[in-house]
Amino acid sequence: MSPGLFDRLNQEMQARDKTPGLTMSDVLVLPEAERRLLNWMMRADEVSLAEVADRLQADETAARARLAELMEKGYVREIDIHGDVRYRVRLAPKRGREIPLNIWSALDDKVDK
Amino acid sequence: MAKVVSIHSFRGGTGKSNTTANLTAIIAQTGKRVGVIDTDIQSPGIHVLFNLEEENMDKSLNDYLWGRCPIEEAAYDCSPTLKVGGGEVAVMGGGMYLIPSSIKAGDIARVLREGYDVNLLHDGFRDLTRRLNLDYLLIDTHPGLNEETLLSITLSDVLVIILRPDQQDFQGTAVTVDVARKLDVPQLLLVVNKVLPRYDLEAVGRQVAKTFDAEVAGVLPLSEDVVSLASGGIFALRYPDHPLTQRYRQIAAKIMG
Ligand SMILES: Nc1ncnc2c1ncn2[C@@H]1O[C@H](COP(=O)(O)OP(=O)(O)OP(=O)(O)O)[C@@H](O)[C@H]1O
Ligand SMILES: [Mg+2]
């Protein structure tokens, strides 16, 4: 393997490790209010601030705070469709099996020696 | 907006793929446009019922998940196999489109090894529905609960859970029913399959409905005719007047509401 490719794989694996996002198995153990909001968002595909406020029966300031919390956790992302801001659930990538995620750094250590 | 219907069972071999294929054909015969997607990436199989040969499978769901093509390019138009009273169903505006999972060992291994972007699966359901102008999207799933199954359930308007009259199936179904309720699925339907024909099917249905406090959309007998068809085609198309086909139609009617 060329060093260039090796570095790239290493970076990719590290980035993967940090990728935020919601896994469906997380959803099952979330507090009910959060779980129901995220289920609804997934089914609606993408939603506006006003729709979230409506769903929460709260004002837009409260809805914005709620969304900010979910974005901070990496569960939701903001998308801008021609200046129109919408919110969408961000799902975590499905990780492969078999290969431990830190394999590249483990290999790197070996190669360095 | 298309109606999304997931067909699931906790354990394998309950009849998910057979039921999905039959429901697809029956709904399409009523003049609807129906997509069917095989999310059983690790052990795909429903393409067999649609007689899609491996060598004719150019693109699959895997290609879409790897960014090689838009999802509709992995859709196979199976409408020509549909006939209503001798006429082509396409004339009535109906159709069925299958998105298979790859049956190549290398592709299956790759998706298990590397994983994939689940957001793409989420987008794919939506894009497919829009681009093929579908009325229904049926999702055949892998048994048990994995990420794609949980996502499919979450995005479904209707979840059909299939179980056999078997203690292990009963326990597994209880788990799935629980999960479906947590995921706020609007409509939950149970189908009991492979019931010994000497049993009182209606009584079995009532018993299961009571056990799970859920609607039973149909009770299907263990059928020698299904066994001898051996997944070689879609039962309801092969035997349109069979009593079992009638039972599939009843389930379809419940789904279509
Ligand atoms: N009512 C029935 N009577 C007799 N055999 C049936 C019936 N329904 C399904 N089968 C048979 O059971 C087997 C499994 O069916 P099918 O492949 O549809 O199940 P599945 O739930 O999709 O399985 P898997 O979990 O492996 O994907 C097939 O051989 C099929 O022909
Ligand atoms: Mg199957």
Q: Residue B213 pLDDT > 70, yes or no?
A: yes
Residues of chain B above pLDDT 90, percent: 91
Q: Residue A37 pLDDT > 70, yes or no?
A: yes
Which domain range does residue A31 map to? 3-112
Question: Which pLDDT belongs to residue B87?
Answer: 56
Domains of chain B in start order, with CATH, are: 3-256 (3.40.50.300)
Which chain B residue's Cα is nearest to A31? Answer: B182
Report how many domains make up chain A: 1
Partner-chain contact A98 B113, CB within 8 Å = yes
Query: Which residue, among B213, B194, B192, B214, has the nearest Cα to B203 in the 3D structure?
Result: B192
User: Do the bridges between strand B215-221 and strand B83-84 make them parallel or antiparallel, or are there none, so unpaired?
Assistant: unpaired
Q: Which of residues 12-71 of A touch B (CB under 8 A)?
A: 21, 23-25, 27-28, 35-36, 39-40, 42-43, 45
Please, which contacts does B209-214 make with residues 24 or more away whose CB atoms are closer than 8 Å? B211/B170, B212/B173, B212/B174, B212/B177, B214/B177, B214/B188, B214/B189, B214/B190
Question: Which pLDDT belongs to residue A94?
Answer: 86
Tell me the mean pLDDT in the region A83-89.
95
Question: Which pLDDT belongs to residue B82?
Answer: 85
Question: Which pLDDT belongs to residue A14?
Answer: 57
**The tokens 């249905």 sit on which residue?**
B205
Euclidean distance between CA atoms B182 and B159, whole angstroms: 13
- Report CA-CA distances (Å) from B250 to A10, B23, B94, B130, B155: 54, 10, 19, 27, 24
User: How many residues in chain B?
Assistant: 257
Kindly report the nearest CA distance between residue A24 and chain B, in angstroms. 6
0.90 surpassed by complex ipTM: no
pLDDT tens digits along A7-28:
766 666 555 555 679 999 899 9
Taking each helix axis from N to C end, the angle separating A3-18 and A103-112, rounded to the nearest 10 degrees, works out to: 140
Residues of chain A above pLDDT 90, percent: 59
Gyration radius from chain B CA atoms? 17
Q: Is B39 in the pocket of ligand 1 (CB under 6 A)?
A: no
Select the more confidently predicted residue: A18 or B256: B256
Tell me the mean pLDDT in the region B219-247.
97
Question: Which pLDDT belongs to residue B184?
Answer: 96
Residue A52 maps to which CATH number? 1.10.10.10
Q: Residue B86 pLDDT > 70, yes or no?
A: no
Interface mutation target, options A24, A47, A81, A87, chain B, most CBs of B under 10 Å: A24
User: Which protein residue has the closest C-alpha to ligand 1 atom 14?
Assistant: B13
Q: Is B208 helix (H, G, I), strand (E, B) or coil?
A: helix
Residues of chain B above pLDDT 70, percent: 97
Question: Which pLDDT belongs to residue B41?
Answer: 94
